[in-house]
Amino acid sequence: MTETFIMGEASTAAGPIPIVGTRLRAADHLGTVSVRLGFRRMNYRVTPGLYAVGHPDGDSPVLVSANYKLSFDALRKELQGIDAWILVLDTKGVNVWCSAGKGTFSDKEIVKRIRATQLADVVRHRTVIVPQLGAPGVAAHKVREHAGFKVEYGPVRARDLRAYLKSGMRATPDMRRVHFPLVERLKLIPMEVRYAMKFAVPLAIGLGVIFMMARGPAAWRDLPWQILPALAAFIIGAAVVPALLPWIPFRSFIMKGAALGIIWTGAILAVYGGGWLWTLGNLLLIPAIAAFFSLTFTGSTTYTSPSGVNEEIRLYARPMGISAVGGLVLIIISFFAN
């Protein structure tokens, strides 16, 4: 990676430390957009180690971060005019929360990185500020025990860091809460759609080919009606449900997806009549597709629990699967039936 974010070097007792800029440049924004669309997403990394922001000295705070460049950028752009050290852990290019869940953002890694960077020679104090969302992977008391540094959990969002530092490392209750607003959900949709399309495209092609074989070339005008309703079901699950998440009734993701799927099927049936087999088939297939891809969004939310998702799968996975397969069979039969 060409590290365009390095602006110079700070000399310390532990040797020279790269100084990073706090303004994101065009290349950084371009990188953000690419990874959000799924390009080079798993290899968008910063070299682990110690970095400087502004003109830090031995009393400046140490902020711990992950080596996913999106995380690193989110942090440094909030530090304009602040003198601080950034300790980047090796999280294999994964963001703070996910790597904490996987155990790569951990107390062991913090201890290892404190030693490797000789942090104790760079700063006089013995405190590191860890983003709160790193807590699932970090036992604060173990960092103190093994490295002699106290862990202070900072705010969830980097944008609250300025206020947090100004108030003497005190986080307000709101700084500790995770939210999941529309703008955050929208950022995740491209990856959801990309995933859904892996299944949607083969299904659409398959349905189209079978339809044309069954009805012959003269039926091409009806072709979009065989493909688009199902294709849209994938978009409902991967994009519409994530976008409208808190406003769709039901707590269950499967129910949210199925509900929108049923509404969509109703809209299709209102403008296109395809016989009772076709109608029933779509009523079974479309809500099931929408429900399944809504359920996969649980992996991206900031609040679903494993026991809750397990419960949904236990209750609804079987009916959803039967509905999808049954619907598909009925639709295919209807192609040949009339």
Work out whether 140 is an interface residue with other proteins (CB under 8 A): yes
Work out whether 181 is an interface residue with other proteins (CB under 8 A): no
Q: How far is the CB of 76 from other proteins (least distance, A)?
A: 23
Is residue 299 helix, strand or coil?
A: helix
**How far, in Å, CA of 200 to CA of 286, rounded?**
12
Q: How far is the CB of 135 from other proteins (least distance, A)?
A: 4
- CB–CB of 72/46 below 8 Å? yes
Work out whether 98 is an interface residue with other proteins (CB under 8 A): yes
Work out whether 47 is an interface residue with other proteins (CB under 8 A): no
Q: Which is nearer to other proteins, 229 or 237 (CB)?
A: 237
Work out whether 112 is an interface residue with other proteins (CB under 8 A): no
Q: Which of 19, 24, 120, 135 binds other proteins (CB under 8 A)?
A: 135
Work out whether 148 is an interface residue with other proteins (CB under 8 A): no
Q: Please, what's the largest Cα pairwise distance for the chain? A: 83
Work out whether 311 is an interface residue with other proteins (CB under 8 A): yes
Work out whether 34 is an interface residue with other proteins (CB under 8 A): no
Work out whether 108 is an interface residue with other proteins (CB under 8 A): no
Pure H helices in 179-305: 182-215, 223-235, 241-244, 253-271, 275-295
* Binders in 209-268 for other proteins, by CB under 8 A: 245-246, 251-253
Q: E strands, 294-334, where?
A: none
In the sheet that holds 6-12, the strands lie side by side as 6-12, 15-20, 49-53, 84-88, 62-65, 127-131, 150-154
Q: Which of 51, 72, 85, 153 binds other proteins (CB under 8 A)?
A: 153
- CB–CB of 52/18 below 8 Å? yes
**How far, in Å, CA of 254 to CA of 269, rounded?**
22
Work out whether 299 is an interface residue with other proteins (CB under 8 A): yes
* Binders in 156-175 for other proteins, by CB under 8 A: 156, 171, 173
